[in-house]
Amino acid sequence: MKNKQKRKFGFWKNKMSQIFQPVSARLGQALQLRSGQALQLCSGQAMLMVVLILGSVMLGATTIAGFVTIQKIRTATDIMDSAMAIYAADAGLENCLYKKYSSTQLDPDFDCSSISVTLDNNASVSVQESGGVIKSIGTSNRASRAFGLFLNEGQ
């Protein structure tokens, strides 16, 4: 019985050595240096570490560049919104002064607080008047800008 087990084990051992011997022989030849020393199989770890580190650096640089680009786009959009809000505030103040002091209808007692308009570019303006001060507030998206005018009637 022991003889049969030895033969079975010997059979598989022979088959495995036939399969893997050519592969290991070719691998051994491929891993030899010119000086005749064989490379160690763990020498690929350094290459793997270099690839991982370079990949991490590239990912970090790309992330930072994307963040900076998004901030610049936001700043440009905020500048445009700010300009639209300033022009809306100016338009509200000019409208109030036109209604108060136009040559066809001179009405210095006209109350400008009734002016509240949404313009074609989706900017809005509201005008408030109290005690000789006209305040015009223009708003566009997240930006709000205001102009104030002090009236000295009687001088």
Report the pLDDT averaged over residues 131-154: 86
Percent of the chain with pLDDT over 70: 69
- DSSP per residue, 63-107: HHHHHHHHHHHHHHHHHHHHHHHHHHHHHHHHHHHHHHH-SS-B-
Which one, of 115, 97, 114, 94, lies nearest residue 151 by Cα?
97
What is the tens place of the pLDDT at every residue in 17-41?
Answer: 666 555 555 555 555 544 445 445 5
Does residue 108 lie in a domain region? yes
Helix (H) or strand (E) holding 117: strand 116-118
Domain extent for 145: 66-150
Q: Which residue has the tokens 């997240």?
A: 142
95-123 pLDDT, tens digit each:
888 888 876 777 777 788 888 888 888 89
Query: What is the C-alpha separation between 127 and 67, in angstroms, rounded?
Result: 39
pTM: predicted TM-score of the whole model, two decimal places: 0.55
Closest to 147 (Cα-Cα) out of 103, 109, 108, 115: 115
CA 45 to CA 141: how far, in whole Å?
A: 54
The verdict on residue 119 lying in a domain is: yes
Flag whether pLDDT at 49 surpasses 80: yes
The answer to whether residue 138 sits within a structural domain is yes
Residue 88 lies in a domain: yes
* pLDDT beyond 90 at 59: yes
Give the type of residue at 36: G
Domain count, the chain: 1
Residue 128 belongs to some domain of the structure = yes
Whole-number pLDDT of residue 119: 87
